[in-house]
Amino acid sequence: MEIKKVLIGMMIVFLLSACTNRNNEVTLGQYVLEDAEAIDMAWLVLSEENQFVFTRSMLTSYWPSGNDAIENGVLILVANENEMYTFKIEGDTLIFESGTHAEGLLELGSRFTLVKDESSKK
């Protein structure tokens, strides 16, 4: 009887976690920093197979790329074991929350808006 309760509880948790809401999805495509001047333009491209390319500023020659994931309405970009960036998802806007190598390049709360939709969600 106890095993049944545990299994039912696990099934409920699984089913609830499988149901996604708008804040736990992100549209694939290109996101651009709102209200940015061309010289400090920052952008992010999310593509299939959980891949990304991120430009924190046009003044940098290094463009982080790697894998991305979504947890609890937060987009997590992982370039390598020492470099990670997080964005809160609000519809087709991503709000910059943190980043290992973004100091001086992006302000916390910077908003990135979808400009090129690849018509797919993840």
Per-residue pLDDT in tens (0 to 9) along the chain, 122 residues = 555 443 344 444 333 333 333 346 889 999 999 876 654 588 999 999 999 999 887 767 678 899 999 999 999 999 999 999 999 999 999 999 998 877 778 889 999 999 876 655 55
Q: For 83-113, give the DSSP string.
A: EEEEEEEETTEEEEEEETT-TTTS-TT-EEE
pLDDT tens by residue, 89-121: 999 999 999 988 777 788 899 999 998 766 555
Question: Which residues are CB-contacts of 90 (< 8 A; sequence separation ≥ 6)?
Answer: 23
The two counts, helices (H) then strands (E), for the chain are 1, 8
Fold annotation for 22-121: Lipocalin (2.40.128)
Q: What is the dihedral of CA 41, 96, 67, 17, to 10 degrees?
A: -150
Structure tokens that stand for 114 in this block: 């979808």
**8 A C-beta contact, residue 111 and residue 88:** no
